[in-house]
């Protein structure tokens, strides 16, 4: 199991070091309630491995959850988990990324496109 690091710990260190960045995602629960029209989702935290330099450039957040990266934010940078977040904060983060802008298929490698980070 990975340890949740603070934003300061994620930023400090060798830019070539591979770090585990906590990301929020949701899973829709399957079951009888879904068939009855009641959607249940579960929030989870997963870790994405990336070089610290890439994190600083495209994903970095401060302790308040504000983006402080040195380059343009990655399309999914809003999902970086800052562990001061409440359940409502996590829902707001997920909704902002999922519904805050129109997405292009090339932003999601699993959607058949090839994602090439800009910058």
Query: Could you tell me what percent of the chain has a pLDDT over 70?
Result: 66
Reported as a single tens digit per residue, the pLDDT across 60-115 is 998 888 899 999 999 888 888 877 656 666 667 666 665 555 545 555 444 444 44
The predicted structure's pLDDT at residue 102: 52
The predicted structure's pLDDT at residue 119: 43
Give the whole-angstrom CA distance, residue 93 versus residue 87.
10
Helix (H, G, I), strand (E, B) or coil at 42: strand
Instruction: List the chain domain ranges.
Output: 7-111
| Backbone angles phi and psi of 38, in degrees to 5 | -100, 115
Q: Are the C-beta atoms of 103 and 74 separated by less than 8 Å?
A: no
Place 56 in a pLDDT band, splitting at 50, 70 and 90. very high
Give the whole-angstrom CA distance, residue 81 versus residue 21.
8
Q: State if pTM tops 0.75.
A: no
């Amino acid at each position: 199991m990975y340890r949740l690091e603070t934003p300061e710990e994620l930023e400090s260190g060798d830019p070539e070091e591979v770090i585990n960045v906590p990301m929020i995602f949701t899973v829709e629960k399957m079951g009888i309630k879904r068939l009855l029209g009641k959607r249940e989702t579960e929030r989870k935290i997963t870790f994405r491995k990336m070089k610290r330099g890439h994190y600083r450039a495209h994903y970095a957040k401060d302790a308040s959850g504000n983006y402080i990266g040195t380059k343009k934010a990655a399309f999914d940078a809003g999902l970086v988990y800052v562990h001061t977040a409440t359940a409502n904060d996590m829902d707001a983060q997920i909704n902002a990324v999922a519904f805050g802008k129109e997405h292009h298929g090339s932003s999601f490698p699993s959607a058949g496109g090839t994602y090439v980070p800009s910058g």
